[in-house]
């Protein structure tokens, strides 16, 4: 009888574990191959290691990489389709999930810059819509042919103000309609290219600390029948916390869960492990000192605690609807032939040694 009770208990425990949705923990490592090619070396326990295995051994199960249309090839604008296919294949071969972030630009696309590719500058709107759809399908097909099947695809990067300016810049009702048309074209391209593979689409905003902006944007997506899968958010405390720590993100996750049915991912976040100015409670950006999380200074332990806490906040979102978190630029270390900058945000020190913050992914 005791054996039967134990067996029954084990069955229920196994079922409960199987029913628990997986939480994806990872990082955007888009510059990794370039840094290595320029002589950068990543280390654990004082020895050179494959950085993907360092991430994996510390609890990461996914990686994110960006894609530019026709980049210059000069760091950090190296993310051509050929480069991205090779890095994507390496990620998949390491047994990690892959998020592909399509910028629809030859350079960085973000809230202040959504410049369309030079190859598309003279297209009419109808031609631009077709170009987005065909290009996206081609990208997905070629990624899959390379053995770099994306598990998630971002159709645009931080596109709260729209994408492919001026055509897809938001403001008037007509502009919102045009943006929706471009997004539908990109999403159609993902579905056309994926065949029978499982692949989820993401719309990504920078508004991780603004429930109002997030609601307004995705209300418009609903109005225009844009059928995406996941709401992606950026949350950088020096931009989004307003000195309130994690509260703005918590409020946004709660509001999204109450208003929409989509899953959520925090697809970008970061925290400094050393101060880049004379005040460890602030981060210097374009000559402006912006506040960090109160009580978490720019230090190795501050970085680790920040990452532990934001993972906890994300995992504890209502109904388990936040399904993942990705750290941005953890690979930015100096190399003999390249200094990429932003080293204060890396998860490795200046010599390439893994920092304590990496351990947060084990939580």
Partners of residue 102 on adjacent β-strands:
67, 155
Partners of residue 232 on adjacent β-strands:
204, 265
Question: Which of these is catalytic: 137, 158, 305, 331?
Answer: 158
| 251 C-beta neighbours (distance < 10 Å), count | 14
Strand 282-285 to 288-291 pairing: antiparallel
Residues 6+ apart with CB under 8 A from 334: 40, 340, 343, 350
Q: Which residue has the tokens 């030079």?
A: 118
Q: Is 278 exposed, middle or buried (0-12, 13-18, 19+ CB in 10 A)?
A: exposed
Q: How confident is the model at residue 122 (pLDDT cuts 50, 70, 90)?
A: very high
Query: What DSSP string describes 212-237?
Result: HHHHHHHHHHHHTT---SEEEEE--H
Q: What pLDDT, on the 0 to 100 scale, is given for residue 4?
A: 45
**Mean pLDDT calculated for residue range 174-185:** 98
Partners of residue 284 on adjacent β-strands:
289
Class of domain 23-362: alpha beta
What DSSP designation does 115 have? B
Query: What DSSP string describes 304-323?
Result: HHHHHHHHHHHHTSGGG-EE
CA angle, corner 59, sides to 58 and 63, nearest 5?
105
Under 8 Å between Cβ of 115 and 106: yes
The Cα–Cα gap between 185 and 328 comes to: 27
Report the predicted TM-score, pTM, of the whole model to 2 decimal places: 0.94
- Catalytic status, residue 158: yes
Q: What pLDDT, on the 0 to 100 scale, is given for residue 285?
A: 85
The Cα–Cα gap between 170 and 156 comes to: 14
- Lowest mean pLDDT segment, chosen from 17-21, 63-67, 229-233: 17-21
Q: What pLDDT, on the 0 to 100 scale, is given for residue 13?
A: 40
- Catalytic status, residue 268: yes
- Lowest mean pLDDT segment, chosen from 77-81, 160-164, 238-242, 334-338: 238-242
In the chain, where are the structural domains located?
23-362
**Mean pLDDT calculated for residue range 58-79:** 96
Q: For residue 341, how far is the Cα from the chain centroid?
A: 19
CA angle, corner 53, sides to 158 and 299, nearest 5?
60
**Mean pLDDT calculated for residue range 65-88:** 97
Closest of 325, 348, 322, 324 to residue 335, by C-alpha: 348
Q: What pLDDT, on the 0 to 100 scale, is given for residue 234?
A: 98
Per-residue pLDDT tens over the stretch 37-65: 999 999 999 999 999 999 999 999 999 99
Question: Which of these is catalytic: 126, 137, 268, 331?
Answer: 268
The Cα–Cα gap between 276 and 287 comes to: 11
The Cα–Cα gap between 168 and 170 comes to: 6
Under 8 Å between Cβ of 363 and 59: yes
Partners of residue 205 on adjacent β-strands:
233
Tokens of 353: 């040694």
Is pLDDT at 248 greater than 70 in this prediction? Answer: yes
Is pLDDT at 17 greater than 60 in this prediction? Answer: no
Under 8 Å between Cβ of 187 and 228: yes
Q: What pLDDT, on the 0 to 100 scale, is given for residue 20?
A: 56
Per-residue pLDDT tens over the stretch 268-325: 999 999 999 999 999 998 889 999 999 999 999 999 999 999 999 999 999 999 999 9
């Amino acid at each position: 009888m005791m054996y039967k009770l134990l067996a029954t208990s084990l069955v229920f425990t196994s079922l409960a574990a199987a029913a628990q949705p997986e939480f994806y923990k990872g990082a955007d490592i888009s510059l990794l191959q370039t840094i290595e090619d320029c002589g950068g070396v990543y280390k654990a326990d004082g020895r050179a290691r494959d950085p993907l295995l360092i991430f994996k051994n510390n609890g990461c199960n996914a990686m994110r990489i960006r894609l530019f249309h026709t980049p210059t090839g000069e760091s950090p604008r190296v993310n051509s389709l050929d480069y991205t296919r090779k890095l994507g294949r390496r990620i998949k071969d390491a047994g990690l999930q892959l998020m592909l972030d399509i910028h629809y630009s030859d350079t960085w696309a973000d809230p202040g810059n959504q410049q369309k590719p030079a190859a598309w500058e003279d297209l009419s709107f109808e031609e631009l819509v077709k170009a987005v759809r065909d290009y996206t399908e081609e990208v997905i097909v070629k990624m899959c042919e390379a053995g770099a099947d994306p598990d998630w695809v971002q159709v645009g990067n931080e596109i709260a103000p729209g994408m492919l300016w001026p055509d897809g810049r938001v403001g008037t009702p007509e502009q919102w309609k045009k943006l929706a048309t471009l997004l539908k074209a990109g999403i159609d391209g993902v579905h056309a290219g994926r065949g029978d593979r499982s692949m989820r689409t993401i719309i990504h905003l920078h508004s991780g600390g603004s429930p109002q902006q997030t609601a307004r944007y995705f209300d418009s997506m609903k109005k225009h029948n844009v059928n995406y899968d996941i709401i992606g958010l950026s949350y950088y405390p020096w931009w989004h916390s307003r000195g309130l720590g994690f509260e703005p993100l918590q409020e946004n996750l709660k509001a999204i869960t109450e208003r929409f049915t989509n899953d959520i991912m925090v697809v970008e976040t970061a925290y400094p492990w050393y101060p880049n100015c004379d005040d460890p409670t602030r981060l210097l950006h374009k000559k402006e000192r912006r506040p960090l999380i109160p009580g978490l200074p720019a230090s190795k332990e501050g970085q680790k605690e920040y990452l532990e806490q934001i993972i906890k906040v994300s995992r504890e979102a209502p109904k388990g609807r936040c399904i993942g978190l990705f750290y941005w630029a953890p690979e930015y270390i100096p190399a003999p032939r390249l200094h990429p900058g932003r080293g204060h945000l890396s998860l490795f020190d200046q010599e390439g040694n893994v920092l304590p913050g990496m351990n947060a992914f084990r939580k």
